[in-house]
Each structure stands twice: as C-alpha cells, then as structure tokens.
C-alpha cells in the first residue's frame, strides 16, 4: 500500500497498541476505518460523548491507498482539523501531527464534558433553591416595599 501523498510504500508500525501504516517520507498515516476510533479511545472511550464525526464532506485531492478512489475531506467532529477519508469506508488519512491533534481534541472534549456536567449540577442546585418557599417569600417581600 502506498502513501496517498508521496506514493511511497507505507510501513506498518505500532501506535499506542494500534497497528497503523505510516509513510516514511512525509510521516502521514493511514488508519483503517475502525482505527481512528481506537486512537480516540486512548483519551475518550465513550462513543456517545464524542459527537458526530462528519457533518459534511467535500472532494479532496488524494486517493485511497486501498481502492484508489478519491478521498473525501471533512472537518473532524466540527473542529478546525481537516482529515481525509475513503467514502467506501476503507479508512482515514492523517497528515503528520494530525493524530496528536485528534488526541488533543478528545482531551479537550473530556474537559468540556466535565465542565458542562458541573454547570448542570450547579444550575439544578440554583433552581432548587429558587423553588424553595423561603426564596420565593423573600422575593415577594422585596417587591412589596
């Protein structure tokens, strides 16, 4: 299998326990379709919390190393990271550094979910206090004056 960018033969290597195909020249990597999810799982393994991967896609310039069909491009999970994928579900092409960016975005997603969860708990507590008779009575008293 050859690199969609350099047309150099891809070398098989291990990446965090995942077998990937990397280009020795440009350092890009081909991930079989399920392997991108495995890369994400090294940071966040709850698929329902990851969000939608592809909102929309468009024709790219590269070709799939498996079927030689044109790859599509998309903004990964709505972020400012453009990735390429095979519409025949053969896999994803990540340029040098994009694998780490995927992991960083998943780490940020974890932080955002924790912050969102904490905000929901705080909001629920506030609503509970507002509904209390003492708070309601204080508000009525405030407007009686």
- 46-103 pLDDT, tens per residue? 777 777 888 899 999 999 999 999 999 999 998 899 999 999 999 999 999 999 999 9
**Total count of domains within the chain:** 1
Q: Is residue 1 part of a domain?
A: no
Q: Is residue 2 part of a domain?
A: no
What does pTM read for this prediction?
A: 0.76
Burial 101-121 (b: 16+ CB within 10 A, else e): bbbebbeebeeeeeeeeeeee
Q: Is residue 41 part of a domain?
A: yes
Whether 40 has a pLDDT exceeding 60, the answer reads yes
Which is higher by pLDDT, 82 or 143?
A: 82
Q: How far apart are CA 59 and CA 87, in angstroms?
A: 10
Encode pLDDT of 92-132 as tens digits: 999 999 999 999 998 998 888 776 655 555 555 655 666 65
Provide the pLDDT for residue 116.
Answer: 60
**Average pLDDT score over residue span 7-17:** 95
Provide the pLDDT for residue 121.
Answer: 53
Give the domain range for residue 82: 11-144
Q: Is residue 96 part of a domain?
A: yes
Q: Is residue 3 part of a domain?
A: no
């Amino acid at each position: 299998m050859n690199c969609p960018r350099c047309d150099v033969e891809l070398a098989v290597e291990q990446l965090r326990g995942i077998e990937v195909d990397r280009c020795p020249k440009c350092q890009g990597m081909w991930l079989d379709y399920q392997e991108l999810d495995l890369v994400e799982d090294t940071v966040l393994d709850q698929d329902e919390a990851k969000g939608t991967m592809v909102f929309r896609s468009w024709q790219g310039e590269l070709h799939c190393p498996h079927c030689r069909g044109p790859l599509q491009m998309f903004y990964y999970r709505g972020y400012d990271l453009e990735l390429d994928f095979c519409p025949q579900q053969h896999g994803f092409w990540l340029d040098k550094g994009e694998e780490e960016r995927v992991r960083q975005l998943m780490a940020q997603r974890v932080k955002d979910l924790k912050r969102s969860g904490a905000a929901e708990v705080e909001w629920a507590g506030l609503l509970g206090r507002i509904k209390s008779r003492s708070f309601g009575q204080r508000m009525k008293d405030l407007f009686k004056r």
